[in-house]
Structure 1
Amino acid sequence: MDRIEKAIDNLLIGSYGEINSRLQQVSCDIEIKGTNSKGYCYSLRVDANGELRLKDLVEFIDTKLVDYAIPKKDIDEARNYFNNTGSASKVLALKKRAKTLFTDLEKTGEGGETLLYILVLEYLKIPQLISKMTLKTSGQVHYQGADGIHVKFDNEKGKLNLFWGESKMYKKMSTAMDNCLSCVKDFSLDPQSAESVQQGDLELITSNLNANVKMTF
């Protein structure tokens, strides 16, 4: 258990809370009747001129592309190379590699998926388990499956908890929420079988775990 917990802790990428200068919490712990769910709402902050800090948020998301798209294992190797040689070549190579993984299609949800990753990491402190972007067959296609796969170890129960994320971006918040909750419902109630959505993602995790998580023995 100690090895698993240590490996998961190593997946966590810290910060100094820079996201808080772009977003502000509107409400938290909102109970959703008839469910075991809770809601947390955040909104864009405004600058000194009263303008929404949207461009600032987009630029911030751009700085997180490597963290989101590249396995933490590869990031650690590039950091070690920099520490040992003083050369940033492998770090820059990761940035170039990350950008090739994103589609340039006009309609894409990859920006929202990256923001989802940032929110889960920044506010819930739950690290990403699988960097699904590296599993795409082409940068010009979208990856099918959960928008985010995160993991946390429960010390008290000795269990590994998996978290699936869903990202939606619409002009109307109500439409986004309806579609998001509908997808979560379908995913949660999909009967367990070899063809279930859950089984596909679980196979994705087990087959790519070694490429994403560094285990020490």
Structure 2
Amino acid sequence: MTDTAAAPSSPPTGPLEDALASLKRDLSKLSTRLKSVDHTVTTECKALTLRLHYPAFRQRKPMMSELVDTVSTYIVNFCLPRQQVADLNEQYGKVSPEEFTTMFEVLRQEAFDLFKRAHVATNRNGEAGELILYLLTEWLLEAPQIVAKMSLKTNTEMPVHGADGVHVRYCAATGRLYIYWGEAKLYGNLDQAITEAAKSIAESLDDKKIKHEITLVKRHLDLSGLKPDAKKAMLDFLDPYGSGYANRHDVISCLVAFDFDAFAAALISETDAEEEFRKLALAKLGEAAPKIAKALKTKGIAHQEVEMFIMPVPSVATLRDLFQDKIGWKHPAAKKAPKKSAVSN
């Protein structure tokens, strides 16, 4: 008779479930600035979920500036490790209101500076897409950010590219840990945005890149705010030799923002402008859906679970400029025309 090795016992997941639940925040107030459109649009890619969002209207116009003002208030939580933010919050009531305000302002400025330095380090130009995706993932997918990637991108000794965000959700009913790898794409042209999104998604799912991302998560769990028993349960899902490893599911959360002229069409409509826009946006989604499915199939990822947030805006360039102004990002100086040389007669 041959002895068989006993299967390793899994750490209790209750602490992890409780810990992740405690990290969730009520972000429902975002619905006053970022609207959702219910729809029945599907594709042949059964694992693809399409979500349609747009900036809220006021007096027939989208509130772009107000949207940027709102999302920028979350930049501290997005950029900085959760433990660092928690350490500040613990000072509330222990120091004077003036001192706490100063401490928060210092942290906020650190987040702004970190965001700018990280984008310079990764050759990006200060787009708001990553921040909006972060909020949508925490709000609608109920998956809190577990690692602040932005805080790692400025470390010259640790090249960090890959996913724009890392979020997790534990499902007690299935015993699965869902890890959401974020990708944000902002392009003036929707077709280009779809193509680039599919390309980035495929690249991010490369085994070597996933392993690298998992290593980053494991290495920085100490800054996640999780207690030891919750971290132990989390690591069991991340360790290839852990008993929970097979129950880890990798999901892509993706934001696709693009220029959409329906905002202008809705403005001159004789009917309710926002209602007219919603109709046009739904039609655009129906037109884009098969293109998205085709792009995923072309990259060999038709069966990959993807949560795709489609967000039409009046102008991606305007969204970028508004956000850059908000965080103090200096726009490239416009090139002046060369002076004309004096010509002797």
TM-score (norm. length: structure 1): 0.85
Query: Which digits, 9 at most, give the CA deviation of each residue in 1:37-65, with x for residues without a partner?
Result: 110111122212x2221111111121111
1:164-175 paired onto structure 2 within 5 Å: 164-175=181-192
CA radius of gyration, larger in: 2
Supply the distance in 1 between the matched residues of 2:214 and 2:228 (Cα, whole angstroms).
22
Preserved CA contact (<8 Å) 1:151 1:162: yes
- Aligned match for 1:212, one of 224, 244, 249: 224
Cα RMSD of the aligned pairs, angstroms, is 2.4
What residue in structure 1 maps to residue 106 of structure 2? 93
Query: Which digits, 9 at most, give the CA deviation of each residue in 1:5-54, with x for residues without a partner?
Result: 22222322323x22212222134463221341110111122212x22211
1:70-149 paired onto structure 2 within 5 Å: 70-87=80-97, 88=100, 89-103=102-116, 108=125, 110-137=127-154, 143-149=160-166
Preserved CA contact (<8 Å) 1:69 1:134: yes
Q: What is the DSSP-based 3-state SS (H/G/I as helix, E as strand, rest coil) of the residue aligned with 2:169?
A: strand
5+ long unaligned stretches in structure 1: none
User: Which runs of at least 4 in structure 1 moved beyond 6 Å after TM superposition?
Assistant: none
5+ long unaligned stretches in structure 2: 1-12, 230-345
Query: Which digits, 9 at most, give the CA deviation of each residue in 1:160-213, with x for residues without a partner?
Result: 22111110000122221221123213333x2x3xxx110110111001111223
Preserved CA contact (<8 Å) 1:150 1:163: yes
Supply the distance in 2 between the matched residues of 1:71 and 1:107 (Cα, whole angstroms).
21
Aligned in 2, Cα 1:34/1:122: closer, same or farther, shift over 3 Å? closer
- Identity of paired residues, percent? 23
Supply the distance in 1 between the matched residues of 2:33 and 2:149 (Cα, whole angstroms).
26
What residue in structure 1 maps to residue 285 of structure 2? none
Supply the distance in 1 between the matched residues of 2:22 and 2:138 (Cα, whole angstroms).
13
The number of aligned residues is 208
Q: What is the DSSP-based 3-state SS (H/G/I as helix, E as strand, rest coil) of the residue aligned with 2:58?
A: coil
Kindly indicate whether structure 1 or structure 2 has the higher relative contact order, using CA contacts under 8 Å at least 6 residues apart. 2
Q: What is the DSSP-based 3-state SS (H/G/I as helix, E as strand, rest coil) of the residue aligned with 1:153?
A: strand
Q: What is the DSSP-based 3-state SS (H/G/I as helix, E as strand, rest coil) of the residue aligned with 1:43?
A: strand
Q: What is the DSSP-based 3-state SS (H/G/I as helix, E as strand, rest coil) of the residue aligned with 1:82?
A: coil
What residue in structure 1 maps to residue 29 of structure 2? 18
